[in-house]
Chains A and B, each alone.
Chain A
Amino acid sequence: MFRRRSREETPPSPQPSAAGADPELLQGLRLVEAAKRGDLPSFNALVVRHERPVYAVCFRMLRDQMAAEDATQDCFLKAWSSIGSFRGGLFRPWLLRIAANRCYDVIRAKGRRPVDSLDAMPFEIEPEWSSQSRGDEHPEEHAVRRELSRHLEQALAALPDDQRLAVILSDIEGRSYEEIAEIMGAAVGTVKSRLSRARAKLHESLRAQPEQRELLERFGRHYDE
């Protein structure tokens, strides 16, 4: 019943060739080139394309809606002012790197603990279509998924910042190890190590409580179907 989210682990392509490339990707490249020449509408078109994942990363890193909005706005302001330094390739990893660094600045400046923010300010959830679940999802499955998501968000907020970012980029945003390495400014091996530790902690956290363990098992059974 749960539709498996397909993840195509595409290899990184710093310089996608024009021949045979995705039209949308080509359109993105044209927008970037226009933005580099100072065309604001082209840049805003890029903003519309990438603001959701950027905001999602900022929100999950900061766990505060106001802070996430400020960080996202700062990210795009920074991107606009430094777009001349963009040397081509995929635009989103470059944006996400700016966003991640901005989040780290906020975290360091405020010394915030995401767990506290999560309890204090629950965030609004997107409509069902954005979570890639099918409209004919069984109510019980939907309830399992929602309950498991709540525990998972809490466990995610308790991770160290670097491990949390690795999980967000890999398992939530679907970036490849190489892209994550570029975003985080680390080696691929370091990314794998952080991801492995993060997943182990999440797994251990969910297995610690019988209720959560059962939720995970039920979700797994439905996920395999």
Chain B
Amino acid sequence: MSEDRTTNGHTAPGTHLSDATLNDFASGRLDEAARASVLRHAAACPECAGALRDYTALRGALGSLPAPRLRRSFQLSEEQARVKVRRRLPTLASALPALRAATIAVALLLLVVAGVDRLTAPGGKAPSNANFAAMAAPTQTATSVAINSVSDGAANTTPTQASLGETSGAESRSETSQAASAIAPAPASGSLNAGSASEGAAPSNAAAKIALPPEATPASSPSVAPTTAPSPSPTPIATPAVAIAAASSGSDRMGWRVAELGLGLLLLWLLVSYVGAWQSSRSRI
């Protein structure tokens, strides 16, 4: 019975009236030609005749249902007319236009923030901690080369230093010991101890190599104070400056990231609310 085999109300032989045709007939929506065709078919098909009769009777019975009695009138009083409809919290469905506008606005803002973040990133890539370490490493390397070369020079030139130490005398020892107190003592080697009887001689000897005038050292100790090593004093100052610049840049980037994350979460919430409001509005019949 549910198969729709009618065409403009004309039922093909050997088939039955469809539910749609029966409903349209019962609702009075068929034109005269279609109605006549349905009635002709019903005259020849007892099953369809019974269905047609049932659908027509059903609709007639529904139309004959008694109406519920009104116990009172619903006319508005002056007071009711003055009082506005109680403002409840707006339903999701009523907030649909606002949610739509807010979702679009937040999405655009997120695009702008992300775009500005990408465009203003240094080198197209924000310096990370690893990058910061790599930036500071050469400076540290230069510093360690200078220190190591000084200590190496002190060790390598021990025999020559021994001879120099003999000739400099006590005066130079006192001067170099004062200089050695300001500089971290080089690790004392056995040769130094062997070359000097006093305990403070080793650091003072190392300091002596540093404090000695430049013209005395190149000939005797070619490995001392390599000219390729930069002076110690500038490198300690450069390292903190780079660190501060890197830190400030990192904090800016973090701020952009936080903003993007916040906007993304807000957009997600708005999308969920919008979908819920849309579904709510659709479910209202």
Contacts and interface: CB of A to CB of B under 8 A. Distances in A.
Interface of A: 2, 4-5, 7, 9, 40, 43-44, 47-48, 51-52, 54-56, 59-60, 65, 68-69, 72-73, 76-78, 80-81, 100-101, 104, 123-127, 130-133, 145, 148-149, 152-153, 156, 162, 165, 167, 170-172, 174, 177, 183-186, 192, 195-196, 199-200, 202-203, 206-207, 216-217, 219-220, 223-224
B44 interface: no
Looking at B55, B78, B80, B285, the one whose CB has the most chain A CB atoms below 10 A away is B285
A55 B67 CA distance: 9
12 contacts: A2-B60, A9-B28, A47-B73, A56-B68, A126-B67, A130-B67, A174-B63, A185-B284, A195-B23, A195-B27, A217-B53, A224-B56
A184 B281 CA distance: 12
Contact of A171 (B53, B62, B68): B62
Contacts of A69: 71-72, 74
B70 A55 contact: yes
Given A101-B285, A104-B285, A220-B54, A125 B64 contact: no
A54 B73 CA distance: 12
Contact of A124 (B57, B65, B69, B76): B69
A124 B27 CA distance: 28
A162 to B, nearest CB: 6
A59 B57 CA distance: 23
- When A and B form their complex, which 7 residue pairs have the shortest distance between CB atoms, in order from nearest? A220-B57, A171-B62, A44-B75, A184-B285, A125-B66, A5-B63, A124-B69
B76 A152 contact: no
Contacts of B102: none
B262 to A, nearest CB: 34
Given A77-B76, A185-B285, A216 B57 contact: yes
B63 to A, nearest CB: 4
Interface string B78-102: 1011001100000000000000000
Given A101-B285, A196-B19, A133 B73 contact: no
Interface of B: 19-20, 23, 26-29, 53-76, 78, 80-81, 84-85, 283-285
Given A52-B70, A101-B285, A196-B20, A44 B76 contact: yes
A170 B27 CA distance: 8
B27 to A, nearest CB: 7
Nearest to A220: B57
A50 B267 CA distance: 45
Contacts of B85: 77-78, 81
B76 A80 contact: yes
Contacts of B26: 199
A34 to B, nearest CB: 14
A55 B285 contact: no
B66 A192 contact: no
Given A73-B74, A81-B84, A219 B20 contact: no
Contact of B58 (A4, A40, A199): A199
Nearest to A170: B27
B87 to A, nearest CB: 11
Contacts of B56: 220, 223-224
Contacts of A224: 53, 56
A52 B66 CA distance: 12
B58 A216 contact: yes
Given A80-B81, A81-B84, A123 B285 contact: no
Contact of B69 (A9, A100, A126, A202): A126
Contacts of A9: 27-29
A81 B20 CA distance: 40
Contacts of A148: 61
A145 B57 CA distance: 11
Given A170-B27, A199-B23, A51 B70 contact: yes
A186 B281 CA distance: 12
